[in-house]
Amino acid sequence: STSEQYRDFDKSKVYMVDLESGLHYLLRVELATHKTLEGVELKTFKDFVTVVAKLFPGRQSVVKLLETLLEWLVSLPLEKIPYEAILDLANNKMRISGLHLSERVQWLGCQGSSVALRGYPCSLWTLFHVLTVQAASRPDALANTALEDDPLAVLQTMRQYIGMFFGCRECGKHFEEMAQESMSQVKSLDEAVLWLWRKHNQVNARLAGSMSEDPMFPKTQWPTPDLCPTCHEEQDGLHVWNEDMVLAFLKKHYSAANISPKYTS
Ligand code: FAD
């Protein structure tokens, strides 16, 4: 049956099970639609693995798996890698290390009121918010990689990934338009955190009331006042964001300390 029981969760938390399920889906489902990776696709995948291996604040076994994948990708002189080889490696490492990317996809903070809603796209947003926040709080984490010293490292990697691999092509097109418009104005790791927040709200505004909205999770301008009262201000009767407060909130909300291990097994 498709209707697993709905489980209560806390909207003020981020859940590791969503992040791991997202990685699982990305590696085993989304990537699988590309039979071989070469050229810019391979470069994009390498950058993605670099960013997650270095910045994902995950369980040790998951980080180890990502690091092994990265070492392998970097050491391979191949210009073309069959997807099967990536899958084999992931499977082998997971068997040897006693697994640890959850064997199946399950959502908690990203669960929808039906299987077609929320889930993977929600986890991907969450993952990239976590990664921009990690990059800002650990500026040296990407030292000695191809992405070192670039405040745009995470955003550019996301942009490439979404444009090339994300199953929703329409989303990729929209995201690319937003990136072209303003991503180059981002000059610091903190600005990268705020840029992604702003663009995500722009998407929320566009999708409010649309087919892809889960009626149980209406699209809002986020964080709502109940999550962050000080993020909201009024100027001449109009709502404005206090961006210093928003930045502080994002850095707390998407920090490693706010990621709950609930339901990771
Ligand atoms: P999501 O929007 O997925 O958000 C997940 C969680 O992030 C929320 O529950 C909340 O806790 C938090 N959050 C919400 N807003 C913010 C914010 N501003 N900053 C930080 N955290 C926030 N769908 C379409 O139909 N058309 C599109 O063009 C489209 N473009 C997309 C582009 C990208 C890059 C991605 C990853 C997804 C896109 N989607 C698009 C999917 C859509 O944005 C949602 O992910 C999907 O509808 C599921 O919505 P959701 O309710 O789970 O919340």
Q: Which residue has the higher pLDDT, 104 or 98?
A: 104
Largest CA distance in the chain: 62
Q: Report how far apart, in Å, the C-alpha atoms of 90 and of each of 45, 65, 96, 204 are.
A: 14, 7, 10, 34
* Under 8 Å between Cβ of 36 and 83: yes
pLDDT at residue 152 in the model: 98
Q: Tell me the ipTM for this assembly.
A: 0.99
> pLDDT confidence of 92, banded at 50, 70, 90?
confident
Q: Output helix, strand, coil percentages for the chain, rounded to the nearest 5.
A: 55, 10, 35
E strand or H helix at 178: helix 169-182
Average pLDDT over residues 238-248: 98
Ligand 1: residues with CB < 6 A are 110, 118, 121-122, 124-126, 129, 162, 168, 170-171, 174-175, 197, 200-201, 203-204, 207, 212, 214, 217, 222
The pLDDT of residue 194 is above 50: yes
pLDDT, tens only, 207-238: 999 988 999 999 999 999 999 999 999 999 99
Classify 111 as helix, strand or coil.
Answer: coil
Mean pLDDT, range 11-27, rounded to an integer: 94
pLDDT at residue 181 tops 60: yes
Average pLDDT (11-22) is 96
121 C-alpha vs ligand 1 centroid, how far in Å?
Answer: 6
Q: What is the Å distance from ligand 1's center to 167 Cα?
A: 14
pLDDT of 1: 37
Mutate to test the pocket of ligand 1, among 123, 125, 170 (most ligand atoms within 8 A of CB): 125
User: By mean pLDDT, which of 46-55, 104-113, 196-205, 239-248 is the weakest?
Assistant: 104-113
Per-residue pLDDT, averaged over 156-165, amounts to 98
Quote the CA–CA distance of 213 and 219 in Å, as a whole number. 7
Q: What's the pLDDT score for residue 89? A: 83
Is the confidence at residue 195, as pLDDT, over 60?
Answer: yes
Share the mean pLDDT of the chain.
92
Select from 13, 14, 122 the residue to mutate for testing ligand 1; criterion: most ligand atoms less than 8 Å from CB.
122
Whether pLDDT at 156 is above 60? yes
What is the average per-residue pLDDT within 20-36? 92
pLDDT in the model for residue 173: 97
Residue 42 has a pLDDT of: 95
**H or E element that contains 81:** strand 80-82
Closest of 74, 171, 99, 81 to residue 128, by C-alpha: 171
Residue 102: pLDDT above 80? Answer: no
